[in-house]
């Protein structure tokens, strides 16, 4: 049995207090629902010196319409997000992404920020302490070698959040708070292609909210998740798409994926807009998916299968959206 590490517990009342609590505390971790962090700690993954619980920060739990668009606080519970009337009316792809996460009890506790900032996963990392010690640990934690790609000096642990691609195809923007104030950036720029350090957040920064711009209201979107079980499981691969038709041609199209790389990724759709959705454009999109998705042996399911279901799911998703967008 793994014993949880000793840590100090802080429960700030506002965002400024949360940022101040992070200052000068290397190894500190932000928690809210803790549905990702606590299972890792029970497996001996991580030894945070401080846990900063932001669940009591009212500003993080708001969903509000602003001049810039729909602002979703990082502390909003996934179950609440999926039931919000404005989200259901204007952005069903977000509802699908939220409802795809784990099971009902998890969604009642898990938050938007937690799902976006969750740890990457790998078959060689998400194991018990005795299993990992028997396999000489790994590059992501306590080891010096990646078991997925032993000849490389990087980690290929995979990002498997469901909300990120759904928000990316809507052009969502992240709001981050730190000691120098607040900054905004495209959600895709919150991540980087490194399984051991996939977030671009500084150690003293907190994700505050994401904003979906008003321009996204005209898009028809959906999210497809492939997993072994219909509930609980992380995605073997996930794909979100959103589009707008201009008669018989594509007016706008966005696609993003999860479960294949160390970070969620938008797919380049340059040149597809203004074209009809047909076999030629479908093949072009499939080529782009193939070039972007870098599957590795991070799960017990084969890489070839995951690639095939990604391509098939993306095609089916866009086919359905094309018909709905008429």
Stated pTM of the model: 0.97
The residues, any chain, with a CB within 8 Å of residue 281's CB and separated by 6 or more, are 250, 272, 275
Burial letters 192-226, b for 16+ CB under 10 A, else e: eebbbebbebeebbbbbbbbbeeebeebbbbbbbb
Q: In this structure, what CATH number is given to the domain that contains residue 320?
A: 3.30.390.50
Output the six-digit token pair for 163: 């909300």
Among 194, 215, 236, where does a domain finish?
215
Among 166, 188, 215, where does a domain finish?
215
Claim to verify: residue 194 and residue 139 sit in the same structural domain: yes
Claim to verify: residue 80 and residue 223 sit in the same structural domain: no
Average pLDDT estimate for 154-167: 97
Average pLDDT estimate for 300-311: 96
Task: Return d(Cα 243, Cα 126) in angstroms, integer.
Answer: 36
Q: In this structure, what CATH number is given to the domain that contains residue 161?
A: 3.30.465.10
Among 191, 215, 239, where does a domain finish?
215
Claim to verify: residue 314 and residue 254 sit in the same structural domain: yes
pLDDT of residue 4: 85
Phi then psi dihedrals of residue 217, to 5 deg: -65, -25
pLDDT of residue 2: 67
Output the six-digit token pair for 195: 């399984």
Claim to verify: residue 115 and residue 206 sit in the same structural domain: yes
pLDDT of residue 326: 82
Examine residue 110 and state whether it is found in any structural domain, yes or no: yes
The residues, any chain, with a CB within 8 Å of residue 96's CB and separated by 6 or more, are 166, 222, 223
The whole domain housing 285 covers 219-324
Task: Return d(Cα 108, Cα 90) in angstroms, integer.
Answer: 22
Examine residue 44 and state whether it is found in any structural domain, yes or no: no
Instruction: Give the chain's domain count.
Output: 2
Output the six-digit token pair for 321: 């959206």
Cβ burial, residue 154 (10 Å; 0-12/13-18/19+):
middle
pLDDT by residue (tens digit) across 10-20? 999 999 999 99
pLDDT by residue (tens digit) across 79-109? 999 999 999 999 999 999 999 999 999 999 9
Distance from chain centroid for Cα 187: 10
Claim to verify: residue 208 and residue 123 sit in the same structural domain: yes
Examine residue 35 and state whether it is found in any structural domain, yes or no: no
pLDDT by residue (tens digit) across 246-287? 999 999 999 999 999 999 999 999 999 999 999 999 999 999
Confidence label for 5 from pLDDT (cuts 50, 70 and 90)? confident
Claim to verify: residue 157 and residue 226 sit in the same structural domain: no
């Amino acid at each position: 049995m793994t014993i949880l590490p000793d840590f100090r517990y802080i429960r700030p009342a506002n965002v400024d207090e949360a940022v101040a609590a992070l200052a000068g505390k290397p190894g500190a971790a932000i928690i809210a629902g803790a549905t990702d962090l606590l299972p890792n700690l029970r497996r001996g993954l991580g030894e945070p010196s401080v846990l900063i619980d932001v669940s009591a920060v009212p500003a993080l739990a708001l969903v509000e319409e602003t001049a810039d668009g729909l602002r979703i606080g990082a502390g909003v519970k996934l179950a609440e997000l999926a039931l919000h009337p404005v989200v259901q009316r204007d952005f069903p792809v977000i509802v699908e992404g939220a409802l795809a996460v784990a099971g009902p009890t998890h969604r009642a506790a898990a938050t938007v920020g937690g799902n976006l900032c969750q740890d990457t996963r790998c078959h060689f990392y998400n194991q018990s302490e005795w299993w990992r010690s028997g396999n000489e640990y790994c590059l992501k934690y306590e080891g010096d070698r990646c078991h997925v790609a032993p000849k490389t000096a990087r980690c290929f642990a995979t990002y498997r959040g469901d909300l990120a691609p759904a928000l990316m195809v809507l052009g969502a923007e992240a709001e981050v708070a730190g000691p120098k104030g607040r900054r905004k950036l495209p959600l895709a720029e919150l991540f980087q292609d490194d399984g051991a350090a996939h977030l671009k957040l500084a150690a003293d920064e907190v994700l505050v909210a994401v904003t979906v711009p008003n321009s996204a209201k005209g898009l028809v979107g959906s999210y497809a998740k492939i997993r072994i079980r219909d509930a609980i499981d992380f995605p073997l691969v996930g794909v979100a798409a959103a589009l707008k038709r201009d008669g018989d041609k594509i007016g706008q199209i966005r696609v993003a994926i999860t479960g294949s790389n160390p970070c969620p990724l938008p797919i380049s759709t340059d040149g597809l807009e203004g074209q009809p959705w047909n076999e030629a454009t479908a093949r072009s999109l499939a080529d782009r998916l193939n070039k972007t998705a870098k599957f590795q042996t991070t799960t017990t399911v084969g890489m070839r299968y995951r690639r095939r279901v990604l391509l098939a799911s993306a095609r089916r998703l866009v086919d359905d959206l094309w018909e709905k967008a008429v």
